[in-house]
Amino acid sequence: MLISSAYAQGTGVTSLFDGQGLVQFLPLVLIFVVFYFLLIRPQQRKAKDHKVTLDALRRGDRVVTGGGIIGTVARVDNPEEVTVDIADNVRVRVVRSTITSVLSKPDPGAAREAVKQREEARAKAGTKD
For residue 17, the Cα-to-chain-centroid distance in whole angstroms is: 42
**Beta strand spans in 1-129 (E):** 62-65, 70-76, 81-87, 90-95, 99-104
pTM of the model: 0.60
- C-alpha span between 121 and 114 (Å, rounded): 10
| pLDDT (0 to 100) of residue 118 | 75
| pLDDT (0 to 100) of residue 19 | 65
| pLDDT (0 to 100) of residue 49 | 92
83-125 confidence digits (pLDDT tens) = 999 999 999 999 999 999 998 777 666 666 767 777 888 788 7
